[in-house]
Structures are given as C-alpha cells and as structure tokens.
Amino acid sequence: MVRRVEITRRAEKQLRRVPNHIVDNLMIWVAAVELDGVEAVRSVRGYHDEALKGKRSGQRSIRLSLSYRAIYEIKRSTIEFVSIDEVSKHRY
C-alpha cells in the first residue's frame, strides 16, 4: 500500500504561486494518503481522482478546486510512493 508522498521541486515552486486554500487542500490530501493509503483516498469522490490519457498516460489528477488540479504518479522503486509532479490551474 502506497503511503509516502513526495512533492517535486517543480510542484513546490508552483505551490508558492497558488492561493493558500489550494495549498491547504493539497496538504489535506497528502495527510490522508499518508494515513490511509492512496487506494483508500482514491475512493473519496470530492477529489475526482482520475487516470490521465495521451502524453500523460500513467499519471493521475486530483481536483483541489474547480480550477486547480494536482498531477501525480505512483513511483515503484525500492519504496512505493506518490510523486506530486504539478499543481496548476486547469484549462478548459
């Protein structure tokens, strides 16, 4: 079960430019993953966790607000963990 979350340097930089409530929402998600595991948190409907397609195949996104998404992928090396790769305003 994946319970470790790593935020990439790129995502940390992006988090400095987003509203505070977006950062708070992401940190709540991180805490939930570390407590319950990513599989359990995926079932929470409010995050709208979904697999991405096309050039982002293998990555997943969660909804932090109507506009903002966090893109993550599960890394399987010696330790399994979630890597948050990007936090950005979603373009419709």
Q: How much is the pLDDT for 53?
A: 93
Confidence band (pLDDT; 50, 70, 90) for 75?
confident
**1-48 confidence digits (pLDDT tens):** 778 888 888 888 889 889 999 999 999 999 999 899 888 999 999 999
Sign of the torsion formed by the C-alpha atoms of 77, 78, 83 and 85: negative
What CATH number is given to the structural domain containing 50?
A: 3.30.2310.20
Structural domain span for residue 17: 5-89
Confidence band (pLDDT; 50, 70, 90) for 84?
confident
The pTM is what? 0.86
Report the C-alpha gap between 5 and 29 in whole angstroms.
Answer: 10
Confidence band (pLDDT; 50, 70, 90) for 51?
very high
Number of domains into which the chain is organized: 1
Beta strands in 1-92 (DSSP E): 5-7, 50-51, 60-63, 68-76, 80-89
